Amino acid sequence: MLKSLDRNLNKLYKFSGYVAAFFLILVAVFILIGISSRIFGFYIRGLAEYSGYCMAAASFFALAYTFVEGGHIRITLFLEKLSGSKKKFIETWCLSIASFFSGYLAFYFVKMLIISYKFQERSEGADEILIWIPQTSVAIGSTIFFISVFHQFILKIKKD
């Protein structure tokens, strides 16, 4: 059962990376439309805001995939000097702290999303979009990131 869970979580992280890539493509599309619209003399409201929302979504959806693939800045320079039980202890300690803070981050992004939805907050941009719509991607991305960090923490404990 745990192997199946591990496999499905890794699929979730990969899917999250694909979603991040999709949002990066949308950023490029919105920027190109904005440039083209200026060249041809018409204005499309909110393109700058939409590209910013897509950038935030891409950043948060990419966190889990990047973490699992080892792309985040880590303490490997310090860990290379250690071996044995000291190395395992430091890695476990770091993953436990990272789990706590990523969980804290995810909790408050979800809480922020709920509050924005409840009060129907709108953006201050030209389009006045309901702000909970772009916040949803940030909340989901940070939650998947917490799951990935906690998953790695459990794997580290189980490994030895």
Spatial distance between the Cα atoms of 73 and 58, rounded to a whole number of angstroms? 18
Evaluate whether 132 touches 116 at the Cβ level (below 8 Å).
Answer: yes
Confidence of residue 66 (pLDDT cuts 50, 70, 90): very high
Q: Structural domain of residue 140, as residue ranges? A: 2-159
> In whole numbers, what is the pLDDT of the chain averaged over residues?
89
- Tens of pLDDT, residues 67-122: 988 876 666 777 777 788 888 888 889 889 999 999 999 999 999 999 999 999 99
Rounded to two decimals, what is the model's pTM? 0.88
Looking at residue 75, its pLDDT comes to 67
CA distance 152 to 129: 37
Per-residue pLDDT at 2 exceeds 90: no
Residue-level pLDDT at 19: 97
User: 20-46 burial, b if ≥16 CB within 10 A, otherwise e?
Assistant: beebbebbeebeeebeeeeeeeeeeeb
pLDDT at residue 64 in the model? 93
